Chain A
Amino acid sequence: MNGHDAPPTVGLSTGPATSLAYHTGTWRTERPVYVDLAPPCSLACPSGEDIRGWLGATQEGEAGFEAAWRRLVAANPLPAVMGRICYHPCQADCNRGEVDEEVGINAVERFLGDTALERGWALPVPAASSGRRVLVVGSGPAGLSAAYHLRQLGHEVVVREAAAEPGGMLRYGIPAYRLPRDVLAAEIRRIEDTGVRIERSTPVTDLRAVEAEFHAVVLTMGAGVAHHVDIPAGAASHIVDAIDVLRDVAAGNAPLVGRRVAVYGGGNTAMDAARTARRLGAADAVVVYRRTREQMPAHATELDDAVGEGVRVQWLSTIAAVDGPRVTIERMTLDDEGRPQGTGVFEELDADTVMLAVGQDADLTLLKGATDIAVDGGVIAVDPVTLMTGREGVFAAGDVSPGSRTATYAVGRGARAVRAVDAYLRSRVLPAEPVARSASADRLNTWYYSDAPKQHRAELAAARRVTGFEEVLSGLDAEHAVFEARRCMSCGSCFECDNCFGMCPDDAIRKLGPGMRYEVDYDYCKGCGICAAECPCGAIDMVPEVR
């Protein structure tokens, strides 16, 4: 029945999806390009952790915990420690803070650290032996970090510690209610398990003498000597160094401080000292600080915790004199440049003990005679990139060298020194660090992040805290750690939400499968930019098309 001369035209019917023959990509003036930017958390992390990366793995739940921990310890071998004591600058910069509340990164870090200890996960097996020996002087956070990273690279590492136990300020400066000693010990033991040898009660007093034994030396003695100020004091006055009190408490020799304690200073040590004084029985602990809250070097959380435990702070005050239990305070005022100036107005304060927390100095006795190693402002001068001192093969990191005096900074500096040491040992040039583009908040499309409050760590009641040295903050359980990790917005890095894939009007994005992300089909992409506009985490740039 179809013997007709002319075929039917039947409304010009055609086959399905024949439009593939038409390449609309030629319309494009801008092309979407996937990018991976540095998130503000990592940029702010002095330890250089890939926070977004290990949070991402944590998001997977149980299956991702170990992977998350491994990404974490790639930078920082002390997550259970740092998960407790780090003042977490990462959280201050977290973009999520602009949506609801910053991600509780520190709590998740502690969860991973604790989980690893519970399950006995071992640190990575070090690389094959390089045949090089490195001495690390001091076993504080900088020393432990340096030792760990050096060992990972295959170097033989000896750590010499003057004290009876390793840990430095972690052990002797930070109260146990903030950092239980078993946690610290376990993480140090795990580093030793990788082959790092820690020689306890072995002070290094002569640099020249040890240099002969090693191919390189990393100085991480810290700053454990209390800084002193001159205060006229009567004979009956009880003035102690805060750092000594902390050290004695840590060593199990809790001193008697009386019912009223004044702490002079405004740093974290002052906060620790005041809180410790409360635990040692002081009904009244007053921090005397010569500037204002805004200028205080102690971290806001430390101050808040101290105030929460009943510590008082006397702002804009200096201790002019101490006479027995009588402390004379001079009120201060800030001049035009924000510096405190005496007002000549005095008042009195009763204190059984005055604790000085006005800074700590490094013990540089081992540098005696080493004129090639410059000391500047009480710390060892180093090359800002390589952290090498004035002497070839001798490096310095942590509180003994310039920079922020925090454990997280020390961990980061320890690792940085190792990169330079390794390059030095292998006679290679230290590769330049890539310039990181920040995934700033304005790149995000925060509409897509659901409201989800931070899972606050259940805090012990402040009243209970001051009765002893049990740990103040409890950790997250797995469920909450996962939840908290999932609050991470993955700033500047695709986390496979499918928005670009689902929202392309031109069906021009291919989904490559789990973990493989997406690719743009430039044959069809018209460059409308919806994918970039609707990418929650700002991981797509629109780049002008050059033809």
Chain B
Amino acid sequence: MTTVHIPFLQTGSLAVGGRLLSADERSVQSHSDRPSSLTKGHRACQGCAEALAARWVMDTAVDAAGGRLVVANATGCLEVFSTLYPESAWKPPWIHSLFANAAAVATGIASSLRAQGRDDVRVLAQGGDGGTVDIGLAAVSGMFERNDDVLYVCYDNQGYMNTGVQRSSATPASARTATTPAVGSTPGQAFGQGKSMVRIAMAHEVPYVASATPADLRDLEAKVRTAMSIHGARYLHVLVPCPVGWGSEPSQSIALARSAVQSGIFPVLEARAGELTDVQRIRERCDVTEYLRPQARFAHLFRPGGEDALDRWRALAEANIRRYDLLGGA
């Protein structure tokens, strides 16, 4: 893992910072003069983990690029809540074109910079799961396949939240959305559907693929920094709990990301050139219900008849734990 080792100082490496840390041991987010690339005044919902993760990712990228970062953003929550004319919450140069084309726009920017001989300026593209896994997949795949010098970041809130919480191909099994209602014999999103964008990215054998969550800032920053140290197509998949779409308390966004990882549901990993190179081990294993129960989209799993689905969820966690050796020691 690219995680930083920091000395034990009351909170170890899991907190954002700590007054006892030296300057070079600090996370980017702990600096009072951090870039705050996505700054205050944006209109994200309360407790939006996407807004948080986007600032974390971009601040680290800005830091790693020495302030020379250009960003292309897909249509989606992130774009809408940050740039309602005449206001913009972004500090780096930033462009939004369309829903499906952030990766291609970023390729265009990267190509332009290359043509101009500007190898000092780096390019980041970002979008939600819809803009990445569904409608934007072709452009992302093309960018990967050409190995364009772009870091693509997907903030995965597991559905079309901006437009009223519809299903995407990143929506997890049994989740209730506006288009997979929790009614009928198989309520919510069907089991056996959806796709793993991380594995799709790995299949392209791009130089760097990683997943992360807002439950581990140090890990996320380290991954962005690693990604920024590499040229070519890179992919970072960040799970971002969405209080509105998931039906969870705004204050629980980070806790949910944590239980997603600690239950084995969301593997946090790194891959290089298509090969899995590291996984984050589960630190305090929890049952899937710790992740599912606080989310209203899974409320039907906790009513009579939901037991089978819960068992299938446990099986999903087990499969991840086996596949990625999340408990270590295999």
Contact = CB atoms under 8 A, between A and B. Distances in A.
Question: Do A and B come into direct contact in the complex, CB within 8 Å?
Answer: yes
Given A19-B88, A59-B10, A511-B32, A496 B254 contact: no
Interface residues of A, number: 59
A16 B86 CA distance: 10
Contacts of B17: 496-499, 501-502
Contacts, number: 176
Contacts of A368: none
A22 B46 contact: no
A14 interface: yes
B217 to A, nearest CB: 6
B16 A499 contact: yes
A529 B250 contact: yes
A490 interface: yes
A528 B46 contact: yes
A21 B41 contact: yes
B14 to A, nearest CB: 5
B169 interface: no
B41 A23 contact: yes
Given A16-B90, A452-B8, A489-B10, A497 B15 contact: yes
Contacts of A495: 10, 18-19
Given A528-B47, A533-B252, A17 B88 contact: yes
Contacts of A536: 11, 15
Contacts of A533: 251-252, 254-255
The winner among A16, A17, A452, A498 for most chain B CB atoms within 10 A is: A498
Interface in A1-43: 11-12, 14-24, 27
Contacts of B85: 12, 14
Given A17-B88, A505-B48, A449 B254 contact: no
Interface string B1-23: 00000001111111111111000
A515 B20 CA distance: 11
A12 B42 CA distance: 17
A386 to B, nearest CB: 39
Interface in A395-424: none
B49 interface: yes
B51 interface: yes
Interface in B150-166: none
Interface stretch (A125-133, A347-355, A519-527): A519-527
Nearest to A59: B20
Given A452-B12, A512-B32, 13 more contacts: A14-B85, A19-B87, A22-B87, A483-B8, A501-B17, A502-B56, A505-B51, A505-B55, A506-B40, A510-B32, A529-B47, A529-B251, A533-B251
Interface of B: 8-20, 27, 29-30, 32, 36, 38-44, 46-49, 51-52, 55-56, 82-83, 85-92, 94-95, 214, 217, 243, 249-255, 258, 284
13 contacts: A14-B85, A17-B90, A19-B40, A20-B39, A23-B41, A27-B46, A452-B12, A497-B11, A498-B16, A498-B17, A502-B29, A527-B46, A530-B52
